[in-house]
A and B are shown apart, each in its own frame.
Chain A
Amino acid sequence: MNVLRWIVFAIAAFAMNFPVIVTLITSFKGAREIAMNPGLLIQAPTFANYAKVLTDTSRFNIYAYLLNSTVAALIGSVLALLLTVPAAYAIVRTGAGRRHLFPLVANLRAVPLVVFAIPLYMMFQFVGLLDTRLGLGLILTIVNLPLSLMMMVNAIADMPGEIDEAARMDRAGAFVILRRIVSPLIRPAVVTAFTFGFITAWNEYLFGLMLTTREAVPVTVGASFFFSASGGGVQWGVASAVMILGALPPAVLGMLIYKQLTGSMTAGAVKG
């Protein structure tokens, strides 16, 4: 049975990761080999693509882009949680906002945010947030709010009510309850929401394009220096190397977080 599971795992992992695998392989191929050999086996592996991306910093400062993305994505994912955890608690426990606020926020995910680009641009221009990491982070917070709120409401609703009710009986303040009692219980959900939020923020493109020019350009936008859909060729090898480098931070985060997730859950199970 377990052999079967491993086989299924291998097939699923290979199929779902196929574009990632191709990207990885292409990033080690030279331009000549990309033209000659479409297969998955590399004949003459080269690091030239990575060397180009990592050293050509006068044109393409990948380090700055990575830093910008990290800062903006952290703001976007952490702030979204700080805003939605208390709100979700209030929605579940007191019912306030359940009728209107919750659907309104959740609904934000359905609208193409491009229509907000121009008004936000003007607003940011006015307050001086244009082309700043903080400004980008705040927008990414908006992008993350719907998913974050949905997941938090779901998690808190699943939590047995008696626990914090008891605390409330003891006249503990809402903030204390939230921090001491609710937070540990919904930690897996918070961690999952943080991961999704970070990934979403990291991979956001449109606002990164519209609201930054020089100082706060994120990696998704900066990366497309190397590939173009209109009028210019795609340097597949270099583009692949950028993609791999750009996907590395969220991938590492995903692995670290997963340990957290399993750890916290087994801990809970032992206690329970």
Chain B
Amino acid sequence: MTPLVVFLLVFLSFPALVNIVYSLSDVTFQTMRAPEIVGLRNFGEVLIDPEFWAASWFSLRFGVLTAVIECSLGLALAIFLSPIVSRHGWTMAILMLPMMVAASMVGLMYRLVLHEFAGPLPHYLTLWFGTSPAFLDANNAFWTLVVVEVLQWTPFAFLLFHVAYISIPSEIREAAAMDRASAWKIFWRIELPMMKATIAIALGIRFIDGFRVFDNVFALTGAGAGGSTMSLSIYIYQSFFKGGQIGQAVAASALLFLASLVLLYGGALLHSRLGQRRAAA
């Protein structure tokens, strides 16, 4: 416990302090060493900025959608493929491969993959069906990005579920099978509840990662036509570096930090309440 706390204090207390000052200051790259305190103005400006809300909405939709799709797909694959994956280790290695490539590079490669003339996907679609959709135009970009993210990170959920699934003691399943429970019933009544914690964790992690998505979106569509694919991370990055509005960028991050903290605390509180009620009952 102590080492972690010491480490955090050493490395994050200074940046955190600086950031608190910045969030309350009028500060640009020129005035970084002498910020002028202006109170809560940055927070006000962020909160009335429609772009901030548009970016939050993009991130929220993106986070929820990708987390749910990745976890459902990952769970289905983990269970369905478990017999062959636990017997042949190499299959696992292949399924984990997409995660090994940096997301920014995956984004870059999709610019080639989806290119109308140089990309293999439109090439084969045109060859077989005579036409290929505009994957990255303003209407389709969101869904294309969801698919890109899902294809890369379903393996993450898959790996977690696979480990959790094969850790379920085989006796339990055997006992259930003895009672002539159907496979569905075993899944719903026994396996799923036993994997509950892992599912919650996987959903949580994938949601957070989807919510703060940056690399692949930035490489593939940037902020998108009219800012239509601007995630909150892109919003903060752009106001930080391109806009040079450090105070506002930091204020936006602080808001994000607080919002997710409230969510986490709320979740924990709800969890312990439910736990108590169940214990009481």
Residues of A within 8 A of B (CB): 2, 5-6, 8-9, 12-13, 15-20, 22-23, 26, 34-35, 38-40, 82-84, 86-87, 90-91, 96-97, 99, 101, 103-107, 109-112, 114-116, 118-120, 122-123, 138-139, 141-142, 145, 147, 149-151, 154, 157-158, 188-189, 192, 196, 199, 202-203, 205, 220, 223, 227, 229, 234, 236, 239-240, 243, 246-247, 250-251, 254-255, 258-259, 261-262, 265, 269, 272
Contact = CB atoms under 8 A, between A and B. Distances in A.
Label chain A's interface by main secondary structure: helix
B92 A258 contact: yes
20 contacts: A8-B81, A9-B84, A9-B95, A16-B98, A18-B151, A19-B113, A20-B97, A35-B118, A38-B120, A83-B3, A111-B260, A116-B19, A118-B32, A122-B18, A139-B11, A154-B201, A220-B104, A247-B101, A251-B97, A265-B166
B123 A142 contact: no
Given A35-B118, A150-B205, 20 more contacts: A16-B95, A19-B109, A19-B110, A38-B123, A107-B257, A107-B264, A110-B208, A110-B260, A112-B253, A114-B236, A116-B19, A149-B4, A203-B102, A203-B103, A220-B104, A234-B111, A246-B102, A247-B100, A254-B100, A258-B93
B268 A103 contact: yes
B184 interface: no
Given A157-B197, A243-B109, A5 B154 contact: no
Contact of A17 (B15, B94, B237): B94
Given A16-B98, A86-B3, A259-B89, A158 B197 contact: yes
Contacts of A149: 4
Nearest to A21: B120
Nearest to B169: A272
Nearest to B121: A18
A84 B3 CA distance: 9
B19 A23 contact: no
Interface stretch (B41-49, B155-163, B173-181, B273-281): B155-163
Interface of B: 1, 3-5, 7-8, 11-12, 14-15, 18-19, 32, 77, 80-81, 83-86, 89-106, 108-113, 115, 117-124, 151-152, 154-156, 159-160, 163, 166-167, 169-170, 197-198, 201, 204-205, 208-209, 211-212, 214-215, 219, 232-233, 236-237, 240-241, 246, 249-250, 253, 256-257, 260-261, 264-265, 268
A109 B112 CA distance: 30
B40 to A, nearest CB: 17
Nearest to B14: A123
B24 to A, nearest CB: 14
A16 to B, nearest CB: 5
Label chain B's interface by main secondary structure: helix
A8 to B, nearest CB: 6
Contacts of A23: 101, 105, 109
A239 B1 contact: no
A54 to B, nearest CB: 18
Nearest to A255: B93
Contacts of B237: 112, 114
Given A5-B83, A15-B151, A118 B246 contact: yes
A22 B95 CA distance: 16
B89 A112 contact: no
Nearest to A106: B264
B167 A265 contact: yes
Contact of B80 (A5, A112, A223, A243): A5
Nearest to B108: A227
Across chains A and B, which 3 residue pairs bring their CB atoms closest together, nearest first? A119-B15, A203-B102, A119-B18
Contacts of A38: 115, 117-120, 122-123
Contacts of B101: 19-20, 23, 203, 243, 246-247
Contacts of A247: 100-102, 105
B256 to A, nearest CB: 6
Given A2-B84, A16-B98, A111 B257 contact: yes
Nearest to B118: A38
Contacts of A8: 77, 80-81
Given A84-B4, A116-B19, A229-B219, A254 B102 contact: no
B112 A115 contact: no
Contacts of A6: 84
Contacts of B160: 192
Nearest to B8: A105
A99 B115 CA distance: 49
B7 A83 contact: yes
Nearest to A19: B109
Contacts of B94: 13, 17
